[in-house]
């Protein structure tokens, strides 16, 4: 049981990158398993902040090897740009990174279709990141996708791209979107294919062998449980399974190999894009959280919607994912709030419930419990015993509400601003 799965418990941006990096010392191999460059995982070491979209976050620790797994949809141009940016600041990743031959490529027509489909949705737009994620998974599931293995066969890739583009341009025309021309992107695609070809491997066999040898593997989930295409707030979700099931299928790891399922949760809630958000605060509290928490998207720069912690949603996410422990982030952002609210139930059409609904989330009204706040600055605290009583009381309330212990509290974006707690609950 040498595999740890780490996933977001809310609507993404919980601070997964920060936590994965902070756990780096205990990781041999880090794996991305789903999503693509819609993810923006922020890692801060010292005064350097980096946002990773495809490269697994723990790789900023020099000893950690990384895998972009079979379940990921990969924009090869973005990946090379990310490798280059890191190389410019002296972080060399390429000889430690494997790109699964089964991962699927995100190509320019996927981004163009993402844009065109969002425009066509009009007022019901999802608010996607426009990184081509939905259309790339559509092609994969329809069995029209192009796996990363094709990066190693430039002649076949060229032929395939030319043939597929004819079809995609028909589709783009149906959306009244401009057509694409191969000369605009094929030369760059072939250039990055040549660069990435040595990284393309059978990642599944590699991971199974590493697991057998007892290497410590961490699967880094992207997005969050409530954006899962099956269990999230459909249709305002992403196009992959951010659920533990997606982390396993997207890496090839068997369920019995997983010892720990760590869920990262913010001490309040945020959401980017459209869709129901029962605890959203459209007033001064939400504005304050956005300002103090710097709640602007790591991928798109959009302001994040902010609100109070939602225990109903968190409990559902923890139960469906078999979460064994919680890493609580951004507790420091709540410092100075005289009262901290937690949503303990919903009222839907006049009926009180603790169940997270499949279809009626837009009608759910939050029932809040109020807890005492704290004013202390947490950013220098490194020990559980140094955390204020009022924060300990909030943590205890979350632990009983979710039914899972909080084993880590993050008190700032930097790697060392991390408090480990014993498994008490
Ligand atoms: P991810 O997508 O889950 O990796 O999260 P993002 O990186 O998109 O967003 C989390 C933001 O919060 C980033 O700017 C992090 O640097 C920052 N962050 C993470 N943990 C903490 C924390 O405990 N306190 C504060 N103040 N910021 C944090
Ligand atoms: P990380 O890994 C927050 C949201 C988008 C949109 C919906 C669908 O950084 O937590 P998509 O581009 O995936 O088709 O968009 O999902 N979304 C995220 N929100 N964090 C993310 O990733 C997200 N990835 C996608 O804003 O509402
Ligand atoms: Mg993010």
- Cα(300) to ligand 3 centroid in Å equals 10
Q: Whose CA is nearest to atom 14 of ligand 1?
A: 42
pLDDT digits (tens, 9 = 90+) for 308-340: 999 999 999 999 999 999 999 999 999 999 999
280 DSSP β-pair partners: 307
143 three-state secondary structure: coil
Whether residue 298 has its Cβ less than 6 Å from ligand 1: yes
Q: What ranges do the domains of the chain cover?
A: 3-89+203-420, 104-199
Are domains 3-89+203-420 and 104-199 of this chain identical in fold?
A: no
If you ran DSSP here, which 8-state letter would residue 219 be given? E
Ligand 1 atom, smallest distance to 18 CA: 19
pLDDT digits (tens, 9 = 90+) for 369-378: 999 999 999 9
Ligand 2 atom, smallest distance to 130 CA: 12
Q: Whose CA is nearest to atom 17 of ligand 1?
A: 413
pLDDT band at residue 163 using 50, 70 and 90 as cut-offs: very high
Cα distance between residue 67 and residue 344, in whole Å: 38
Ligand 1 atom, smallest distance to 297 CA: 8
Cα distance between residue 318 and residue 292, in whole Å: 27
- Cα(25) to ligand 2 centroid in Å equals 28
Cα distance between residue 41 and residue 184, in whole Å: 30
- Our mutation pick for probing the ligand 1 site, out of 16, 32, 37, 42, counting the most ligand atoms within 8 A of Cβ, is 42
Question: In 3D, which of 72, 6, 52, 50 has the Cα closest to residue 265?
Answer: 6
**Does 415 score more than 70 pLDDT?**
yes
Q: What is the pLDDT of residue 423?
A: 62
Residue range 3-89+203-420, CATH number = 3.90.170.10
**Residue partners of 152: CB distance under 8 A and separation at least 6:** 101, 193, 197, 200
Whether residue 270 has its Cβ less than 6 Å from ligand 1: no
Q: Whose CA is nearest to atom 2 of ligand 1?
A: 13
pLDDT band at residue 422 using 50, 70 and 90 as cut-offs: confident
Residue range 104-199, CATH number = 1.10.300.10
Q: Report the pLDDT averaged over residues 31-39.
A: 98
Tell me if 286 sits within 8 A of 306, measured CB to CB: yes
- Cα(339) to ligand 3 centroid in Å equals 27
Active site residue 110: no
Q: Whose CA is nearest to atom 11 of ligand 1?
A: 15
Active site residue 53: no
Average pLDDT, the chain: 97
Percent of the chain past pLDDT 70, that is, above it, reads 99
Tell me if 316 sits within 8 A of 401, measured CB to CB: no
For the CA atoms of the chain, what is the radius of gyration?
21
Among residues 21, 41, 139, 228, the one annotated as catalytic is 41
Cα distance between residue 207 and residue 40, in whole Å: 24
Q: What is the largest CA-CA distance in the chain?
A: 65
> Can you say whether residue 143 is alpha, beta or left, with left for phi > 0 and alpha for psi between -120 and 50 degrees?
left
pLDDT digits (tens, 9 = 90+) for 366-401: 999 999 999 999 999 999 999 999 999 999 999 999
pTM, rounded to two decimals:
0.97
Q: Report the pLDDT averaged over residues 262-272.
A: 98
Q: Whose CA is nearest to atom 21 of ligand 2?
A: 223
- Cα(13) to ligand 1 centroid in Å equals 7
Q: Report the pLDDT averaged over residues 61-75.
A: 98
Q: What is the pLDDT of residue 425?
A: 43
């Amino acid at each position: 049981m040498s595999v740890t799965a780490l996933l977001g418990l809310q609507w993404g941006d919980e601070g997964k990158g920060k936590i994965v990096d902070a756990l780096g010392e205990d990781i041999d191999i880090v794996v991305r398993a789903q999503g693509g460059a819609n993810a923006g995982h922020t890692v801060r070491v010292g005064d350097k902040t980096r946002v990773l979209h495809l490269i697994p976050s723990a790789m900023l620790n020099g000893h950690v090897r990384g895998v972009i797994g079979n379940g990921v949809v990969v924009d090869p141009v973005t990946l090379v740009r990310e490798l280059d940016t890191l190389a410019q600041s002296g972080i060399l990743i390429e000889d430690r990174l494997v790109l699964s031959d089964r991962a699927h490529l995100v190509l320019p027509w996927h981004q163009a279709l993402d844009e065109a489909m969002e425009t066509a949705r009009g007022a019901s737009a999802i608010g996607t990141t426009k990184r081509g994620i939905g259309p790339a998974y559509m092609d994969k599931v329809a069995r029209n996708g192009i796996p990363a293995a094709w990066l190693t066969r430039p002649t076949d890739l060229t032929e395939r791209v030319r043939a597929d583009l004819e079809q995609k341009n028909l589709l783009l025309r149906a959306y009244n979107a401009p057509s694409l021309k191969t000369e605009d992107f094929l030369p760059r695609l072939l250039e990055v294919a040549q660069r990435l070809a040595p990284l393309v491997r059978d990642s599944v066999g590699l991971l199974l062998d590493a697991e057998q040898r007892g290497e410590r593997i961490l699967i880094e989930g992207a997005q969050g449980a409530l954006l899962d295409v099956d269990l999230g707030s459909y249709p305002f979700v992403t196009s992959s399974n951010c659920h533990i099931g997606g982390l396993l299928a997207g890496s090839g790891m068997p369920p019995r190999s997983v010892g720990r399922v760590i869920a990262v949760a913010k001490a309040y809630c945020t959401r980017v894009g459209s869709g129901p958000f029962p605890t959203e605060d459209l007033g001064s509290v939400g504005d304050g959280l956005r300002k103090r928490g710097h709640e602007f998207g790591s991928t798109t720069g959009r302001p994040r919607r902010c609100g109070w912690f939602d225990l109903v949603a968190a409990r559902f996410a923890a139960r469906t994912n078999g979460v064994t422990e919680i890493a609580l982030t951004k507790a420091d952002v709540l410092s100075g709030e005289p009262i901290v609210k937690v949503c303990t139930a919903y009222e839907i059409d006049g009926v009180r419930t603790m169940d997270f609904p499949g279809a009626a989330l837009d009608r759910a009204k939050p029932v809040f419990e109020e807890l005492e706040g704290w004013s202390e600055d947490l950013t220098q605290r490194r020990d559980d015993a140094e955390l204020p009583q009022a924060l300990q009381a909030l943590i205890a309330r979350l632990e009983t509400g979710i039914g899972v212990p909080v084993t880590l509290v993050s008190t700032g974006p930097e790697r060392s601003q991390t408090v480990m707690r014993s498994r008490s609950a």
